[in-house]
């Protein structure tokens, strides 16, 4: 027999020599939810182990993230119910929930903060933009609101902005507004390829952001489509996106792999709330081994993602560090 692939699997050392994919804590972005109130650390029912934090609780929460070795977070704001309105104006308030959270975190830590730029957590109707009288989400009017929101996050101290609304032209609109204000070096990570997915269910519970009527299918992508992902990604690259994201991750690895050879920018994939809930539940019930979490994230990297947004970031980082220490000892 000439070819024996098993030769390279014989022991741990030879396997690690030929390993094609690796995962590092610095590849990870940890999404966090910030809410009004004081002393709040409220577990999200549909996402066991994930919490809504009030601003004053964030410094301690961030310390835990840093202790795990995670260097990046993504912030989502959950404003008070009375602050919701038709156009989501609390999203760009200089004293809004995200803006205050950024300031509080930055006064204690230099963790890299990316903010989710969207209106659905702030609008009374729960859609990601401004509505016309007939209920249509008006693309072009929404661009202005998103640009204002992104700028307010950056002015509050955000290191990167990540628009997740899926309006056409929003990357260009945000880039122009940031540049005009002198923030030429603030990168945009675009949720370029975001499908209208059932996997966002737990997030919408966490953020109270489910649409009051209808769904997001007139702006988020139809999950029957793969080729369209190439179009969306190319448009966002042309508009100046610095990082291209695919979302969700695990059920869409074909899309990540398909885009990888085309996109020269770094690519991110978001392992979303529904993916987290499924994995977490299966592990907590003892139905599968906890290593399924690491394996799933390796799969996302193997498909071609450089960066992973994941609610498992902290525990993955701990696992990775423990594994590394083990190697050193041997």
Active-site option among 148, 194, 301, 314: 194
Nearer to ligand PBG, 50 or 319 (CB): 50
Nearer to ligand PBG, 23 or 122 (CB): 122
Residue 52 CB, nearest distance to ligand PBG (Å)?
Answer: 14
- 281 is written with which tokens? 């539940």
Residue 78 CB, nearest distance to ligand PBG (Å)?
Answer: 11
Nearer to ligand PBG, 148 or 185 (CB): 148
| Residue ranges that bind ligand PBG, judged by CB under 6 A | 116, 118, 120, 128, 164, 200, 203-204, 209, 272-273
DSSP state of 211: -
Residue 40 CB, nearest distance to ligand PBG (Å)?
Answer: 20
Active-site option among 148, 247, 301, 314: 247
Which parts of the chain fold into alpha helices (H)? 12-17, 58-68, 97-106, 139-156, 170-180, 201-207, 227-239, 253-259, 273-284, 291-303, 313-329
Nearer to ligand PBG, 67 or 252 (CB): 252
Tokens 């603030």, residue located: 186
- What SS3 class is residue 85? strand
Secondary structure in 3-state letters for 273-311 = HHHHHHHHHHHHCCCCCCHHHHHHHHHHHHHCCCEEEEC
Residue 203 CB, nearest distance to ligand PBG (Å)?
Answer: 3
- What SS3 class is residue 238? helix
Question: Is position 247 annotated as part of the catalytic site?
Answer: yes
Which residues belong to the active site? 194, 247
């Amino acid at each position: 027999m000439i070819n024996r692939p098993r030769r390279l699997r014989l022991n741990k050392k030879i396997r690690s020599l030929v390993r094609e994919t690796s995962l590092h804590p610095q590849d990870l972005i940890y999404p966090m939810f910030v809410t009004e109130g004081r002393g709040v650390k409220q577990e999200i029912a549909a996402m066991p182990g994930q919490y809504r934090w009030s601003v004053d609780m964030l410094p301690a929460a961030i310390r835990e993230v840093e202790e795990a070795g995670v260097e990046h977070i993504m912030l989502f704001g959950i404003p008070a119910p009375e602050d919701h309105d038709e156009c989501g104006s609390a999203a760009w308030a200089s004293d809004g929930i995200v803006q205050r959270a950024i300031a509080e975190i930055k006064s204690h830590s230099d963790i890299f903060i990316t903010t989710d730029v969207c209106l659905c957590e702030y609008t009374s109707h729960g859609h990601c933009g401004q509505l016309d009288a007939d209920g249509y989400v008006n693309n072009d009017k929404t661009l202005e609101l998103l640009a204002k929101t992104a700028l307010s996050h950056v002015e509050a101290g955000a290191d990167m902005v990540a628009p997740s609304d899926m309006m056409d032209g929003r990357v260009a609109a945000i880039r122009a507004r940031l540049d005009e204000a002198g923030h030429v070096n603030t990168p945009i990570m675009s949720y370029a390829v975001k499908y209208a997915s059932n996997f966002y269910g737990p997030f919408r519970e966490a953020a109270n952001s489910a649409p009051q009527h209808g769904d997001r299918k007139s702006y988020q992508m139809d999950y029957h489509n793969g080729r369209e992902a190439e179009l969306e990604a190319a448009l966002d690259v042309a508009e100046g996106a610095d990082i291209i994201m695919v979302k969700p991750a695990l059920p869409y690895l074909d899309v990540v792999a398909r885009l990888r050879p085309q996109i020269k920018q770094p690519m991110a994939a978001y392992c979303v709330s529904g993916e987290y809930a499924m994995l977490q539940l299966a592990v907590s019930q003892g139905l599968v081994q906890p290593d399924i979490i690491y394996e799933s994230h390796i799969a996302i990297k193997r498909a071609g993602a450089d960066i992973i947004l994941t609610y498992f970031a902290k525990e993955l980082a701990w696992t990775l560090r423990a594994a590394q220490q083990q190697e050193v000892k041997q």
